[in-house]
Amino acid sequence: MSSPFSLQADQGAGPLMRDSAPGPCVALLFGITGDLSQRKLVPALFHLESTGALPENFAVVGLSRSAGDVEALRRKLGEALERHSPNAPVDRAAWERFSARITGVSGNLEESETYERLGAHLSEVDQARGTLGNRLIYLSTPPSAFPTALTQLKQAGIVRHAVEAGSELPWTRVVIEKPFGHDLASARTLNQQALEVLGEEHIYRIDHYLGKETVQNIFVMRFGNAIFEPLWNRQHIDHVQITMAETIGVVGRGRFYEETGVLRDIVQNHLLQVLALCAMEPPVSFEADEIRNMKAQVLRSLRPMPNGSEEGSIVWGQYEGYRAEDGVAKNSKTPTFVAMRAHIDNWRWNGVPFYLRAGKALKSRVTEVSFHFKSIPFCLFGDEQTCQMIDPNVLKLRIQPNEGISMQIACKVPGEDLSIGGVTMDFQYEGAFGRKPPEAYERLLLDCMRGDATLFARRDEVEYSWAFSSQIQEALERGGNEPEVYARGSEGPGAARELLRRDGRSWVNLG
């Protein structure tokens, strides 16, 4: 039985500081009338300006088939902002000021004439807004459109290859949305195609989960507190659980989900990136490439599982009613749930299982990492019943919702008898610091404008992740096993609980 114990945050030291507002630039949003731009990108940019984080010389240029009607575009984005802004109600005066920065170009993404008009329009914006030719280009398009868009951007002179660019010239940074490839072979092809147009330092492969406050705080918690790093290894940690659970199903995205499934949609990017941050070695500095070097080492060290599903290390599930969703095959074997036991073959983590779990239509919406420490080596408290009441310590990082950190410890229950109970020390960012954490896209867009690639995936990270997950996907497809059907609103397939039970462990409850 546990009880809450509130922690107060010490705000005296101040936040980890970066440079202030970035320099002048244009944010070029491909597919500006699409779902991602309306729900996330435009609201993030609007809020950044509302808080004074954007430079004075800044503009947004949208590209889509219907973006040429600027007034209609601004009106549509304003209506979307009302629906999706995390800071409702929207300040209309602030929106009017921000929307004046938005213009658009309409056209087909495959036609060179579109890019010629786009280049001319960008030059006009540079003149009018003083943006100095600096470009943040966000490709919120299907992966199949990346090569064509990049090639056309280069031919139109909108982007330059690294060998042509120098520090005295305007910068270009291109943000590419997941999924970056469909498997290892396609990821390598996309990487090579991107590198024919841009240098690696100009490519920002985005995973919005890395913009979450708790994910970033993994750095500070481990390397800013002397009590944790000495315990962060196989000597003290029994196992690690990483969970991403959603309550919703595919919600009209059945056709897309049939092609991806939970492994490609969640595990290959979100969960493996979080795993790498949690398990990496201390970097020699806080520079982007030093951190990404350490993450790549972890992903490279993942133990291969070519026959994982046959060895009982992986459980697949499909929620009840998935096959009745629009766009889903009536005999679909696409998994909507996966649970697996992974191992990192290096000195620090040898023998420590990392349990990954992700799924749709589950009991609650939660993304978290929990570090389960080893049991005490010897019980001093007399009878066996008292000793059985002592649960191992658990350090839990909640990524969403209610971002925060909690720690479970043992404590004596007040009274004459020696009775031991669990106490949870807990804090939430909003309660501790008096403000909500910024939205993930706000942080990531700002970092991209500053040229800080710390929270973006590098080419080798992407390919190591695909090398691990592709072989599991191939084993699933080769085996032809039916995924276990689980009830909507449950904690997933019974076989997932059995996976940990066989190891003498159990999942953290989904709430």
* 363 has a pLDDT exceeding 60: yes
| Catalytic residue from among 84, 270, 343, 372 | 270
In CATH, the architecture of 25-206 is 3-Layer(aba) Sandwich (3.40)
pLDDT per position as a tens digit, 61-93: 998 888 778 888 899 988 888 887 766 677 888
* 164 has a pLDDT exceeding 60: no
Specify the pLDDT at position 162. Answer: 47
Measured between alpha carbons, how far is residue 2 from residues 385, 420, 421, 497, 507 in Å?
A: 17, 10, 6, 22, 17
* 481 has a pLDDT exceeding 70: yes
**Would you identify the CATH topology of the domain 210-378+439-501?**
Dihydrodipicolinate Reductase; domain 2 (3.30.360)
Q: Whose CA is closest to 242, among 206, 218, 224?
A: 218
* 386 has a pLDDT exceeding 70: no
Instruction: Please state whether the predicted TM-score (pTM) of the whole model is above 0.75.
Output: yes
Helix (H) or strand (E) holding 58: strand 58-64
Burial class of residue 497, CB neighbours in 10 A (0-12, 13-18, 19+): middle
| CA 227 distance to own-chain centroid | 27
Active site residue 202: no
Burial class of residue 76, CB neighbours in 10 A (0-12, 13-18, 19+): middle
Q: Please, what's the b/e burial string for 15-53 (b: 16 or more CB within 10 A of its CB; e: otherwise)?
A: eeeeeeebebbbbbbbbbbeebbbbbbbbbbbbbbbeeb
CA 346 – CA 275 distance, rounded (Å): 14
Greater pLDDT, 141 or 86: 141
CA 464 – CA 461 distance, rounded (Å): 5
Other CB atoms within 10 A of residue 430 CB: 14
Specify the pLDDT at position 407. Answer: 83
CB-side neighbour CA atoms (13 Å) of 499: 26
DSSP 143-199: GGGHHHHHHHHHHTTSS--GGG--TTSPPEEEEEESP--SSHHHHHHHHHHHHTTS-
Q: What percent of the chain has pLDDT over 70?
A: 85
* 11 has a pLDDT exceeding 60: no
Q: DSSP assignment, residue 283? A: P
Q: DSSP assignment, residue 210? A: G
**Domain coordinates in residue numbering, the chain:** 25-206, 210-378+439-501
Measured between alpha carbons, how far is residue 215 from residues 55, 222, 443, 503 in Å?
A: 27, 12, 12, 28
pLDDT per position as a tens digit, 290-332: 999 999 999 999 999 866 555 678 999 999 999 999 999 999 9
Helix, strand or coil, per DSSP, at residue 411: strand
Q: Whose CA is closest to 110, among 141, 76, 75?
A: 141
Specify the pLDDT at position 426. Answer: 81
